[in-house]
């Protein structure tokens, strides 16, 4: 940084002589132009591939568009039909369940890992790499690995159960177990990013306050609740919102491991949207389902915001 500053000083010390005023205005204009030129590609891209699709999505959800042939406005028929669609109701409940179970568990485990890594143990760096590793690997690739682990006869999961004398399970074939099996993979894969955010937050907790608390005779538990926990507010908020948004969009795991089955026991909203749109070609109907997904994600983000407000007011 200091090198930069001296360089600047060196440059400003000897400004080349120029006609000041008129040039300054022309300069302002050319800077504006340059700004727009540099912004334009990204803006056009966002308008075409994000904004336009958002608008189209809402429009499509009021049609019976089926990819080929004519389509009609059907008003809110799609949404009415959604209400009595059992498979969709299951998908919606499964998605909410998946989120409500995996997000808090993963947050708690990630925080524990971060606390562990932040407590001065050995080989912290290496361990951080190992904990983070599932996060950087493709969901499809790890889903194929877990598909193999969950195999009923030759899979690792049942063999590990066997070590403890437990009976083998139909991880992906038992309708009561298929969704929890997916949740386990989801929690496992998502721990790394949450842990890293918590680690950064823990390292920014005020040193003075921690020491002051210890001088006041607070035990570690009290120190944690009164000093560390309040300082984690922004991290909680960020982790909650990003992982909620991500878990509402869980798809790759479901696609590779269960296809939503057995029956509809592990189907989720994104998988239903995919099936209806690209296998069933009911694009209007699937668009209505997508609108519901957007609204739900919005609601959960608002809940996160509200929680953040409440906790920072306290």
Partner 1 sequence: MSRPHAAPGRRSRGLYALTAVMALGAVAMVAPFVWMLLTSLKSPSELTEFSWLPDQLRFQNYTEALTAAPFARYFLNTAVLTIGQTALTLLFATSAGYALACTPIRGRKALNAFVVILIMVPFYAILIPEFLVVKSIPLFGGNSITGQGGIGWLNSWWGLIIPHAIAPIYIFLARQFFVSLPEELAEAARVDGLSEYGIFFRIMLPLIKPAVITVAVFQIGAAWNSFLWPLLITRDDSLRPIQVGLAIFSQDPLNVQWAYLMAGATLAVLPMIALFIAAQRYFIEGMASAGLKG
Residues within window 148-187 making contact with partner 1, judged by CB under 8 A:
148-149, 153-156, 158-159
Residue choice 3, 19, 54, 68 for contact with partner 1 (CB under 8 A): 54
User: Nearer Cβ to partner 1, position 89 or 259?
Assistant: 259
Does 74 bind partner 1 (CB under 8 A)? Our answer is: no
Q: What is the rounded CA–CA span in Å between residue 191 and residue 114? A: 10
Q: What is the rounded CA–CA span in Å between residue 177 and residue 150? A: 11
CB 128 within 8 A of CB 117: yes
Residues 223-252 that bind partner 1 (CB under 8 A): 234-235, 238-239, 245, 248-249, 251-252
Does 76 bind partner 1 (CB under 8 A)? Our answer is: no
Residue choice 48, 299, 303, 305 for contact with partner 1 (CB under 8 A): 48
Only one of the segments 71-79, 100-108, 175-183, 293-301 lies at the binding site for partner 1 (rule: CB under 8 A); that segment is 293-301
DSSP alpha helix (H) spans, the chain: 2-13, 20-46, 52-60, 77-83, 86-117, 124-136, 139-149, 156-163, 178-203, 207-215, 220-223, 229-231, 233-248, 252-257, 269-274, 283-313
User: Nearer Cβ to partner 1, position 87 or 176?
Assistant: 87
Query: At closest approach, how far in Å is the CB of 263 from partner 1?
Result: 18
Q: Which residues contact 201 (CB under 8 A, 6 or more apart)?
A: 231, 232, 234, 235
Peptide bond into 262 cis (omega under 30): yes
Tokens at residue 204, please? 């920014």
Residue choice 103, 107, 142, 227 for contact with partner 1 (CB under 8 A): 142
Sign of the CA dihedral running 184, 185, 188, 193: negative
Residue choice 88, 183, 286, 300 for contact with partner 1 (CB under 8 A): 286
Residue choice 110, 183, 199, 227 for contact with partner 1 (CB under 8 A): 199
Query: At closest approach, how far in Å is the CB of 78 from partner 1?
Result: 12
């Amino acid at each position: 940084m200091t090198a930069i500053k001296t360089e600047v000083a060196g440059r400003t010390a000897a400004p080349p002589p120029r006609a000041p005023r008129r040039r300054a205005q022309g300069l302002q204009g050319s800077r504006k132009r340059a700004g727009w030129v540099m912004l334009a590609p990204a803006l056009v891209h966002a308008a075409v591939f994000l904004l336009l699709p958002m608008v189209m999505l809402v429009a499509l959800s009021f049609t019976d568009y089926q990819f080929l042939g004519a389509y009609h406005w059907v008003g809110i028929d799609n949404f009415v039909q959604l209400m009595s669609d059992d498979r969709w109701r299951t998908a919606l409940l499964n998605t909410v369940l998946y989120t409500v179970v995996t997000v808090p568990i993963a947050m708690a485990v990630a925080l524990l890992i971060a606390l562990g890594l932040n407590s001065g143990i050995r080989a912290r760096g290496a361990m951080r790499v190992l904990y983070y590793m599932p996060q950087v690997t493709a969901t499809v690739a790890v889903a194929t690995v877990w598909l193999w682990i969950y195999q009923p006869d030759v899979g690792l999961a049942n063999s590990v159960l066997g070590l403890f004398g437990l009976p083998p399970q139909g991880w992906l074939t038992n309708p009561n177990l298929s969704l929890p099996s997916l949740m386990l993979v989801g929690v496992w894969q998502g721990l790394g990013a949450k842990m890293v955010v918590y680690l950064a937050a823990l390292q920014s907790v005020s040193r003075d306050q921690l020491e002051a608390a210890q001088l006041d005779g607070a035990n570690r538990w009290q120190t944690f609740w009164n000093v560390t926990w309040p300082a984690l507010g922004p991290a909680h908020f960020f982790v909650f919102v990003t992982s909620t948004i991500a878990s509402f969009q869980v798809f790759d795991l479901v696609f590779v491991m269960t296809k939503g089955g057995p029956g509809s026991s592990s189907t989720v909203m994104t998988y239903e949207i995919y099936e209806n749109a690209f296998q069933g070609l009911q694009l209007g109907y699937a668009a209505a389902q997508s609108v519901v997904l957007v609204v739900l994600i919005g609601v959960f983000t608002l809940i996160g915001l509200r929680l953040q407000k409440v906790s920072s007011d306290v």
